[in-house]
Structure 1
Amino acid sequence: MLARLPDDAGIGIDVGSRFALTHFGLFGFAVMSCGTLRELLTIAMRYFALTTMHVDITLFETADDCLVELDASHLPADVRGFFIERDIAGIIATTTSFALPLAAKYADQVSAELAVDAELLRPLLELVPVHDVAFGRAHNRVHFPRAMFDEPLPQADRHTLEMCIAQCDVLMQRNERRRGITALVRSKLFRDSGLFPTFTDVAGELDMHPRTLRRRLAEEGTSFRALLGEARSTVAVDLLRNVGLTVQQVSTRLGYTEVSTFSHAFKRWYGVAPSEYSRRG
């Protein structure tokens, strides 16, 4: 879907700036409960697969300094810019509230090199007391002193963190078990964010007879209909909350011929009508 949108720099930043850690469920609560920046980055990288972010995060550490690099070179070129913008903005938006005192204390020792446009990101960066920021670079890196790594964070909660980590481990194990033909079908359904292929199309792409695909999915305890419903429910929330489409637009995008049918399905998934969900933000 992104590849079909007009070339409009800044969409990713607009979407990412709406992120909140609570959107990431248990992962978000785990991050908010971390005791130090070191612990936060360790937890974030360990459970990154539980988020909707797509950049790769790498940490480099020396005796005196640390460097965090965000890389999107593995993503298709036509959507790479969007995800760089979205994920950088998302990280700023989700961590500013509790990391601000720490950022302020080390503001003069932190620097950043970003591959995004200065004017697009400047409103968000005004929330962060970091003065040395270079834009239009070929990479996305943040440099900070190692001492900052082990400073205590104000919202640290060891009990909550341990509970969230235990549940994140369960979710990661569940994701591992979901690999197989189910994962392949799911990847086909999520490929174009709302432009879903038919069951026959998916079987053809997998070079498999439809009856064989139906049997293989049943062996893994699922069905194409169930996976399509899962994909629709996930994409519906993203299009309503992050992209800002209307209920009518989301209904059409997801392949429903009637808005009422989509509304009934959405209420079955989330317990509220899509219009009410949008108002809640």
Structure 2
Amino acid sequence: MRDSKQPGRSPALRSVSSSARERPIVGLDERVYESTKLAALFDILVDQGCPAGDVLRNVNLTADEVHSPRSRISLADLMTACKNAIRLSSDPHLPYRIGTSIHISTYGMYGFAILCCPDFRKAMAFAELYHALATPLATIEFTEEDGVATWTIEPNARTATDPKVYRFVTEMQIGIHISLMRDIMGPSFTPDQISVAYPEAHDFGLPADQIGCRLSFASRTNRIIFRSAWLDQAANLGNKTTYPAVVALCDDLLNDLKSRIGIAGEIRALLLRDIANPPTLAAIAKLLEMSDRSLRRQLREQGISFRGLLDELRMQIALKYLRTTRLANEDIALALGFSDAANFRRAFRRWTNKSPSKIREE
């Protein structure tokens, strides 16, 4: 597939997106997610002989809480566990192994809905649109054109500050995708190509014999590419009656997730409308139909500041620009609402303890 050609969204994706709820915008430290992925990481490391306390070092969860359906973690907790895994294990295929240990049944109602999709294109569309229910350390996008289907994977922007964590999250997500695709389309599913946006490393990596396809490094994006013919097969476990009922339950789960995030999620959504010219707190209060005092009080109750939310979003966008584009610092500064590149560089160093040029080098 040529890098210069952008695949188009599938008709199935468009049809599902018309009924899907707006996806919540979650902060890195908000403990609103189930511990599904962390539990998979925990189990494999403990099985390899790593002490449970070391696996959960600096994670806001005890060993007894890891498998509890009532437990909630943040994306920061999961990233910390990934860093612990890198430190503790010498397994050369650890992230991929963790990913492939996660099956459709692991994901509860989200997984059941994917299984119930009446055809595989709807399954791809649903998986993308409701990905917020899967404790996402990466964004995923499904496209299809000219007989070729592609999953594009981009780890959370904050992982860009640590190249090893970026690689770990990418390879774990690739493992998850391959595992789930084999669960729903059959164990013989094999991609035609996997490309990753970083050079080959020697500490850990994807096992070529297990992925069963060509692997390329230092590509433009992280992608899993396969023939659309896989999507033309009959979805033997799909059910046209059950599917809409389960989607409605997943909508309820998204609404519950949004309520857990609270006012911070609503503010993030409003700030992202125009991050270069963000509204003031007073303007946001007016949009939310509340007083400035009430809005400030709700933020204090969540332990969040308005300035902190704005800085968090600017940092994430800056990291994404630095990792995935060739925009000059001056252009990034302008896109984020800074008066010049020098002010942007100072703010970026305050956010990440690194310079923009260091991120580009990594």
Which of the five TM-score ranges fits, normalised by the shorter chain? 0.5 to 0.7
Tell me the alpha carbon deviations over residues 95-146 of structure 1, each in whole angstroms, 9 at most, x when there is no partner.
3133126737xx7xx33324576984337x63x6x5x422434332133344
For normalisation by structure 1, the TM-score amounts to 0.54
**Structure 2 Cα separation of the partners of residues 101 and 55 of structure 1:** 24
Q: 1:161 to 1:122 in 2, by over 3 A?
A: same
Task: Give unmatched runs, 5+ long, in structure 2.
Answer: 1-79, 267-296, 303-362
Q: Deviation at 1:157?
A: 2.2
Residues 102, 148 of structure 1: 8 Å contact kept: no
Q: Among residues 150, 159, 176, which one is paired with 1:90 in the alignment?
A: 176
SS at match of 2:135: coil
SS at match of 1:103: coil
Counterpart in the other structure of 1:20: 103
Q: 1:170 to 1:81 in 2, by over 3 A?
A: same
Counterpart in the other structure of 2:251: 169
Q: 1:67 to 1:98 in 2, by over 3 A?
A: closer
Counterpart in the other structure of 2:292: none
**Structure 2 Cα separation of the partners of residues 122 and 153 of structure 1:** 29
Q: Which amino acid aligns with 2:215?
A: A
SS at match of 2:261: coil
Q: Which amino acid aligns with 1:65?
A: V
The answer to whether structure 1 residue 143 and structure 2 residue 225 are counterparts is: yes
Instruction: Provide the aligned length of Structure 1 versus Structure 2.
Output: 184
The answer to whether structure 1 residue 216 and structure 2 residue 298 are counterparts is: no
For normalisation by structure 2, the TM-score amounts to 0.43
The answer to whether structure 1 residue 155 and structure 2 residue 241 are counterparts is: no
Tell me the alpha carbon deviations over residues 136-165 of structure 1, each in whole angstroms, 9 at most, x when there is no partner.
343321333444433322322223322211
Q: 1:35 to 1:12 in 2, by over 3 A?
A: same
Q: 1:91 to 1:117 in 2, by over 3 A?
A: farther
SS at match of 2:177: helix
Q: Deviation at 1:178?
A: 2.7
Tell me the alpha carbon deviations over residues 10-40 of structure 1, each in whole angstroms, 9 at most, x when there is no partner.
4322322221222211001111122322111
Counterpart in the other structure of 2:36: none
Counterpart in the other structure of 2:166: 80
**Structure 1 Cα separation of the partners of residues 120 and 157 of structure 2:** 26
Q: Percent identity between the aligned chains?
A: 21
Tell me the alpha carbon deviations over residues 236-268 of structure 1, each in whole angstroms, 9 at most, x when there is no partner.
xxxxxxxxxxxxxxxxxxxxxxxxxxxxxxxxx
The answer to whether structure 1 residue 178 and structure 2 residue 264 are counterparts is: no
Q: Deviation at 1:54?
A: 1.7
**Structure 2 Cα separation of the partners of residues 183 and 45 of structure 1:** 20
Task: Give unmatched runs, 5+ long, in structure 1.
Answer: 185-211, 218-281
The answer to whether structure 1 residue 134 and structure 2 residue 215 are counterparts is: yes
* Higher RCO structure (Cα 8 Å, ≥6 apart): 1
Q: 1:121 to 1:35 in 2, by over 3 A?
A: farther
